[in-house]
């Protein structure tokens, strides 16, 4: 039996929502997500050296509801909001250059004039699914309707499980 020893130790400033190892990149990725934003801490797997810390802009339209986040075995960071919106970004790109401007968008709060009340949020993609077409509250809420209860991450996609109903929806990218 081989002898065991601690090679490195690292203190994090935040909790851990998800932890993953990516052999092709030689890194461990720690994801912390709450209802407003996510932080990715990318660590060299051999030395424990911080390679990059990236804080994503706030998530749009999801007050007080944390998203589902995962780093996949295909080296992608995926975020699924309760509204069914997705964000997918290759980890290599995040490791090498952080977040680019094209994954962020400025939003103006309703009732505010241009330039006032603007915030930068993470640019999400809407999935082509509307599981509750006949629900009056869902129609009124529009894209802000929270219908995703859980997400199961699979290679190249995600299976979305709605809050109500027996359906499952597979979304591929």
51-94: per-residue pLDDT in tens? 999 988 887 766 677 788 888 888 999 989 888 899 999 999 99
Q: What percent of the chain has pLDDT over 70?
A: 91
Check: CB of residue 148 under 8 Å from CB of residue 84. yes
Residues spanned by the domain of 54: 18-172
DSSP character at residue 97: H
Half-sphere exposure of 134 (CA within 13 A, CB side): 2
CA–CA separation, 72 and 66 (whole Å): 19
Check: CB of residue 59 under 8 Å from CB of residue 67. yes
Those residues with Cβ within 8 angstroms of residue 45's Cβ, 6 or more apart along the chain or in another chain: 21, 26, 27, 28
Which pLDDT band, with edges at 50, 70 and 90, does 99 fall under?
Answer: confident
CA–CA separation, 129 and 98 (whole Å): 30
Is 106 within a domain?
yes
Is 51 within a domain?
yes
CA–CA separation, 29 and 58 (whole Å): 20
Is 142 within a domain?
yes
Is 94 within a domain?
yes
Q: What is the pTM of this model?
A: 0.79
Cα dist from 113 to 21, 58, 90, whole Å: 45, 21, 35
If one counts the domains in the chain, the total is: 1
Find the radius of gyration of the CA atoms of the chain: 18
Is 39 within a domain?
yes
């Amino acid at each position: 039996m081989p002898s065991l020893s601690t090679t490195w130790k690292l203190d994090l400033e935040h909790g851990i929502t998800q932890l993953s190892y990516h052999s092709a990149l030689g890194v461990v990725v720690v994801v912390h997500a709450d209802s407003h934003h996510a932080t990715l801490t990318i660590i060299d797997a051999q030395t424990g050296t911080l390679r990059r810390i990236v804080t994503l802009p706030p998530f749009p339209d999801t007050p007080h509801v944390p998203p589902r986040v995962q780093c996949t075995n295909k080296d992608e960071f995926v975020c699924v909001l309760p509204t069914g919106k997705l964000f997918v970004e290759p980890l290599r790109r995040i490791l090498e250059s952080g977040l680019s401007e094209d994954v962020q968008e400025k939003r103006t709060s309703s009732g505010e004039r241009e330039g006032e009340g603007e915030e930068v949020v993470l640019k999400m993609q809407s999935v082509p699914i509307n599981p509750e077409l006949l629900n009056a509250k869902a129609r009124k809420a529009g894209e802000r309707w929270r219908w995703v209860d859980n997400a199961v991450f699979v290679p190249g996609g995600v299976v979305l499980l709605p809050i109500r109903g027996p359906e499952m929806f597979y979304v591929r990218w």
